[in-house]
Amino acid sequence: MQENGLSIYPLNLGTLAGMDKSFFTIRQNQGIKIDVPCLAWVISGGGKTILVDSGPSDPNWAIKYHRPLIKESSQEIEKALGKIGLLTTDIDLVIFTHLHWDHCFNLECFPEVKFIVQKKELEYAVNPLPTDRVQYEVGMPGIQPPWMKVFGQMKAVDGDQDIIPGVRVISLPGHTPGLQGVVVETAEGPWVIAGDTVPLYENWDKDDAAKRIPGGIYQNLFHYDSTLKRLGSFGNNILPGHDPKVTEHSVFP
């Protein structure tokens, strides 16, 4: 652990509007509509400034190819970083939790950095099952997936790996084949950026792994179940991928 620990700053980069809650809580809450943030994260204090995920497209693109997205001008990634005193040029490294469209746009803002992705995620994104193609924006006529634009800047890792002292990526398959979380050592112990493995706080039961709820969007439910059980070994300070309550905090811990 770092002597003073690292800090994690959430960025709200847009709102997915009118989402059926069952998308986030498998086979539960059908017909309940919720608005959820598209979250990214800045890890600061370790000698390098790391961005985890880079947010969704603009609203016009989202409504044309995906679903309604609300994005205020203050939620553009440059302005969101500016709120915590950063420029896009201050970002030294980007980690993708996964390559779904709402997590990997705005990459033109980072022309010089490396992008860390799991090998299995990249392999699957290139040739996903037909039902997953829209999520990755693959096989859509006339469209280049956003992540493909930085293909030459990607570093593919295989499984758990230290990135810098105090920051480690961990394999969390289920929602996608190569989803990865990020374990961050803070002054209060480890915190885990879980991405869409834990989309809402209510997916997570810290005391009973059998009561943890997978999200309703998944590629392999068996892997997802194993991942939720394993995730508790990294502690119970879990940061979810789309929970509005995250935006009540300016920094974690």
Tell me what the pLDDT averaged over the chain comes to: 96
Confidence of residue 2 (pLDDT cuts 50, 70, 90): very low
Task: Please tell me the predicted confidence (pLDDT) of residue 169.
Answer: 98
For the segment 28-57, the average pLDDT, to the nearest whole number, is 97
Rg from Cα positions in the chain: 17
Instruction: Please determine, for residue 162, whether its predicted confidence score (pLDDT) is greater than 80.
Output: yes
By the 8 A CB rule, do 195 and 98 touch? yes
Q: What is the pTM of this model?
A: 0.97
For the segment 19-41, the average pLDDT, to the nearest whole number, is 98
Calpha distance 144→166 (Å, rounded): 35
Higher pLDDT, 229 or 4: 229
On the 0-12 / 13-18 / 19+ scale of CB atoms within 10 A, 182 is buried
Q: How many CA atoms lie within 13 A of 50 on its CB side?
A: 25
For the segment 240-251, the average pLDDT, to the nearest whole number, is 98
Instruction: Give pLDDT tens digits for 99-130.
Output: 999 999 999 999 999 999 999 999 999 999 99
Instruction: Measure Cα distances from 185 to 87, 134, 146, 151, 224 in Å.
Output: 24, 35, 30, 29, 24
Instruction: Please determine, for residue 137, whether its predicted confidence score (pLDDT) is greater than 80.
Output: yes
* Domain residue spans of the chain: 7-248
Task: Please tell me the predicted confidence (pLDDT) of residue 164.
Answer: 97
Instruction: Please determine, for residue 135, whether its predicted confidence score (pLDDT) is greater than 90.
Output: yes
Task: Please tell me the predicted confidence (pLDDT) of residue 5.
Answer: 84
CATH fourth-level superfamily of 7-248: Ribonuclease Z/Hydroxyacylglutathione hydrolase-like (3.60.15.10)
